[in-house]
Chains A and B, each alone.
Chain A
Amino acid sequence: MQSNEEKKIVISVSPGAFLSVDGNVTLKKENGEVIKEADKLFLCRCGASVNKPFCDGSHSKVEFDKD
């Protein structure tokens, strides 16, 4: 139990912006191909990034302000 607690990742919703992922994760395509291994990620959740799945700041241009 303890070891899993230590490895917990935290996904935080940034208001009007991105999903912030803290902790070691592997980001993959549906076919299993690894996009990136990271300890910190900022992922697009507004749908407007031209660099998906990553955030590129486009949320500020599209007035994405939802929870």
Chain B
Amino acid sequence: MQEKKKYYKSDKSTVSFEARKCIHAAECANGLPEVFNPNERPWVNTEGAEVERIKEVIERCPSGALKYELKDDAGNERPKTNAEITVVPNGPLYFSGNMEIVDSEGNVVGEEYRAALCRCGHSQNKPFCDNSHIKENFNAE
């Protein structure tokens, strides 16, 4: 499927958002509401805070729905040196690190540093989580 991303640009950075990967972990809206405000349009205000703070909050987005790219490449996101998988109770698997995601037909569907992948079996956007575990009452430690 074609990636549908929205881009929010400032002089120093471009923030991108891929709605179909967002699972509303809300790290952004809680961490930096002056930049990420779902009640505003556009909901991302790249002028709302220093670039360093925007970077820090985006790198906490577990699904990878939010990313950024700086004019100065040296400051861009680096993956965690040691890859980690966090098992979220009743929810997805959070992956963090330098990774390639390959779908069931062998196509590379992501070169990512952060991703939330389905483990309840019900996502309509596999292998990515789409929060279907909530309505399916997925129960797992």
Residue numbers of A with Cβ under 8 A of B are: 4-5, 7-16, 19, 21, 23-30, 35, 41, 43-48, 52-53, 62, 64, 66-67
Contact of B100 among A8, A16, A62 (CB under 8 A): A8
Q: Are B102 and A30 in contact (CB under 8 A)?
A: no
Write out the residue numbers on chain A whose beta carbons fall within 8 Å of the beta carbon of B117.
11, 19, 45
Residue numbers of B with Cβ under 8 A of A are: 78-79, 81-89, 93, 95, 97-105, 115, 117-122, 126-127, 136, 138, 140-141
> Tally of A-B residue pairs with Cβ under 8 A?
108
Q: Are A19 and B127 in contact (CB under 8 A)?
A: yes
Q: Are A7 and B83 in contact (CB under 8 A)?
A: yes
Known: A11-B101, A25-B97, A30-B89. 5 other contacts (CB 8 A): A11-B95, A25-B85, A28-B84, A29-B86, A47-B121
Per the bound structure, the CA–CA distance linking A64 and B14 in Å amounts to 40
Question: What's the nearest-Cβ distance from chain A to residue B72, in Å?
Answer: 16
Closest to B118 in A: A45
Closest to A16 in B: B104
Write out the residue numbers on chain A whose beta carbons fall within 8 Å of the beta carbon of B87.
27-30, 35, 52-53
